[in-house]
A and B are shown apart, each in its own frame.
Chain A
Amino acid sequence: MKGNLEAERTPGAATAVAAVELDAVAVRFRAKKKEVTALRDVSLSVAPGEFVSIVGPSGCGKSTLLKLVSGLLRPSAGGVRLFGEAVGGTRHDIGYVFQRAALLEWRSARRNILLQAEMRGMPAAEAGRRADELIEMTGLTGFEDALPHELSGGMQQRVALCRALLHRPPVLLMDEPFGALDALTREQMNVELHRIWRETGTTVLLVTHSIAESVYLANRVLVMTARPGTVAEIIDVDLPGSRDYAETMSQPPFAEATGRIRDLLGAATATD
């Protein structure tokens, strides 16, 4: 696996083009006279269908990194490519999930999901079928007509996930999607996200503060340093493709990876 990905990172490897590629990217913000370097010399190559978690201290540029990939933000230096194509403006072939579900409070769960289709001008019948499929997949059945304020935080995030997946995006970007959920709901969402990722085969970049979550879900974990954000290390997670939650937690590679991340983040004593 590791050797495979290394091969893909070498330029000119025509075998499989990377889904997401960051090449020595830097981002500088100019905020009132002062210039802030959010990211410096970040390189990353994500294979199609791969799940990469991103962890790092607050303000190290994790959200900025996702914005680069989506094209919502342009890098100050370096290049960003999606499936070999340079990102020139906001990309429409991605799905985005934020920490806050960002739902339209006047729309039902189902109609919030269908916003994606309406904005894209997707055929209504096809979009409706796809929405129903996702509603079933995420366990939202029975809540289709509920308004966002009638839904729990976990349910709201499920709606946001369905909305992000409606158009079958090849790349899914998730920015601390479960950060506001309680521990138990979060575990459930982890298990569900893992299953959905296996079913859809989409490439996922997940920003998270939970070390356990980052390892349980990912093929690789990108650990970042504090501001200015750089790559501290990219850790391979040596766990099977299909993972049972409790079982995974007890496996040596899990402890190994989480331990390494904890060391890198300088939080050796932190309890997670």
Chain B
Amino acid sequence: MSMNPGGSEGRLLTVLERSWRPVALLIACFAVWWAITSTRLVPPYLVPSPGTTLGVMTEKSSYLWQHTWVTTYETVLGFVIAVVIGVLAAVVMVYSTTVEKTLYPVLLFAQVIPKIAIAPLFVVWLGFGLTPKVVVAVLIAFFPVVISMVTGLKSVDPEMLQLAATMGASPLKTFAKIRFPASLPHLFSGLKVAVTLAVTGAVVGEFVGANEGLGFVILQANGNLDTPMLFAGLLVMSLIGVVLFVLVEIAEQLMLPWHASRRGEAATTTL
């Protein structure tokens, strides 16, 4: 057993250690982008320079903010609904083989249907408002949640469950004190995938019919051949995904400190 290297100082070090590579890569990408545009290899109406794009972002910041909030709201709402339904479905599936056998093919079918192909249908059914975007986000984020939760609930040490039986524990207590907490590390890995997919879902929903949101911004910019605005929209959209992903990671570390510390010890990477 090795001792953990010092508390907060050690943690800061690992954060730096873990994040310097992606940050360096990001800077390199911006440098290449800047180089391409400043050498006029590509005409600016096809690829605007980082400067122009950032300029648009500050100039039209209130316009962008307004649409960013719409997309964020749809994403988060879709994600939360997907988590609630996904977790409940997983619990029912794990406790009933009949339900599992019935539901699994349906889930798989729902998963393999290209969401972009059925999104127009939701617009027809549910109109241009918030609902169809949230529905697409839920549909796309739901699958990783169910799969990871089912895997998590099934990953419990069978000896632990036998032990619970000798303790005379009720199924509810066994679930609350053993199965559910044991499944959380798996669930969180699914949540990280789901939250990024939820952004895609919301934007796909906006593409097929909307008058607000970043998907709408991008379509408009495309129509006007306003590539700086298009790039700005794309950048903000990616930022939403990254920020939500990081928020889920922070939630994971707060809720499962035992898992995080253990993972650190095993020296495995998160991504």
A and B bind: yes
Rounded to whole angstroms, the CA-CA distance of A90 and B175 in the bound complex is: 18
Cα–Cα, bound, A104→B258 (Å): 10
Residue among B165, B166, B181, B265 having the largest count of chain A Cβ atoms under 10 Å: B166
B250 at the interface (CB under 8 A from A): no
* Smallest CB separation, A165 vs chain B (Å): 13
Cross-interface CB contact of A149 among B165, B256, B265, cutoff 8 Å:
B265
CA distance A118 to B177 in the complex (A): 9
Residues in A134-152 with C-beta less than 8 Å from chain B: 147, 149-152
- Distance A90 CA – B162 CA, assembled complex (angstroms): 9
Q: Is the CB of B167 within 8 A of A116?
A: yes
Task: Contact check, A120 vs B160: say whether CB atoms are below 8 A apart.
Answer: no
Q: Which residue of A lies closest to B1 (CB)?
A: A152
Looking at the complex, which one of A94, A151, A152 makes contact with B166 (CB distance below 8 Å)? A94
Choose, from A32-40, A95-103, A220-228, A231-239, the stretch at the interface.
A95-103
A92–B259 alpha-carbon span in the complex (Å): 31
When the two chains form the complex, which single residue of B1, B157, B168, B261 contacts A92, counting CB atoms closer than 8 Å? B168
Q: Would you give the shortest CB distance from A72 to chain B, in whole angstroms?
A: 6
Contacting residues, chain B, for A94 (C-beta < 8 A)? 166
> B122-181: which have CB < 8 Å to A?
157, 159-160, 162-169, 173-174, 177-178, 181
Number of interface residues of A (CB under 8 A): 24
Query: Is B60's beta carbon under 8 Å from chain A?
Result: no
Q: What A residues does B265 contact at CB under 8 A?
A: 149
> Cβ of B181: which chain A residues have Cβ within 8 Å of it?
104, 106
Q: A70 — which chain B residues lie within 8 A by C-beta?
A: 166
A127 to chain B minimum Cβ distance, whole angstroms, is 12
Of B157, B259, B262, which one neighbours A102 at CB under 8 angstroms?
A: B157
How far apart sit A106 and B177, CA to CA, in the bound complex (Å)?
10
Q: Chain B residues near A147 (CB, 8 Å)?
A: 258, 261-262
Closest to A166 in B: B167
Given known contacts A118-B177, A119-B177, A147-B258, A98 and B167 CB-to-CB distance under 8 angstroms: no
**B221 touches A (CB below 8 Å):** no
Nearest CB on B from A34, distance (A):
22
Other-chain residue from B160, B166, B173, B182 in contact with A90 (beta carbon distance below 8 A):
B166
Contact B259 A106 (CB under 8 A): yes
Q: What's the minimum C-beta distance from A161 to chain B, rounded to whole angstroms?
A: 13
How many whole Å from B103's CB to the nearest CB in chain A?
A: 27
A96 touches which of B166, B169, B182, B258 (Cβ 8 Å): B166
Instruction: Give chain A residues whose Cβ lies under 8 Å from the Cβ of B162.
Output: 72, 96
Provide the bound-state CA to CA distance between A72 and B173, in Å: 18
Answer whether residue A212 sits at the interface, using C-beta atoms and an 8 A cutoff: no
Which residues of chain A from 66 to 118 have a CB within 8 Å of any chain B CB? Answer: 70, 72, 90-92, 94-96, 98, 100, 102, 104-106, 115-116, 118
CA distance A131 to B170 in the complex (A): 22
Q: When chains A and B are docked, how far (Å) is the Cα of A39 from the Cα of B118?
A: 59
- Interchain CB contact under 8 A, A102 and B159: yes
Chain A residue nearest to B160 (CB atoms) is A102
Select A120's contact among B159, B168, B178, beta carbons within 8 Å.
B168
Q: How far is the CB of A233 from chain B (nearest CB, A)?
A: 30
Closest CB in chain A relative to B1 CB, distance in Å? 6
A-side contacts of B163, CB under 8 Å: 96, 98, 102
Which residues on A sit within 8 Å (CB–CB) of B178?
Answer: 104
Cβ–Cβ contact A119 & B168, under 8 A: yes
- Chain A residue nearest to B257 (CB atoms) is A106
Give Cα A234–Cα B169 distance, bound, in whole angstroms.
Answer: 35
Docked CA distance A272–B147 (Å)? 48
CA distance A91 to B160 in the complex (A): 15
Identify 12 new A-B residue pairs, CB closer than 8 A, beyond the known A72-B165, A106-B181: A92-B168, A94-B166, A96-B163, A100-B159, A102-B157, A102-B163, A105-B262, A116-B167, A118-B173, A119-B174, A120-B167, A120-B168
A residues lining the B interface (CB < 8 Å): 70, 72, 90-92, 94-96, 98, 100, 102, 104-106, 115-116, 118-120, 147, 149-152
**Which B residues fall within an 8 A CB radius of A?**
1, 157, 159-160, 162-169, 173-174, 177-178, 181-182, 256, 258-259, 261-262, 265
5 residue pairs, one from A and one from B, having the closest CB atoms: A119-B167, A92-B168, A119-B169, A106-B258, A90-B165
Q: List 15 A-B contacts (CB under 8 A).
A: A72-B165, A95-B166, A96-B162, A104-B182, A105-B258, A105-B259, A105-B262, A119-B167, A119-B169, A120-B168, A147-B261, A149-B261, A149-B262, A149-B265, A151-B1
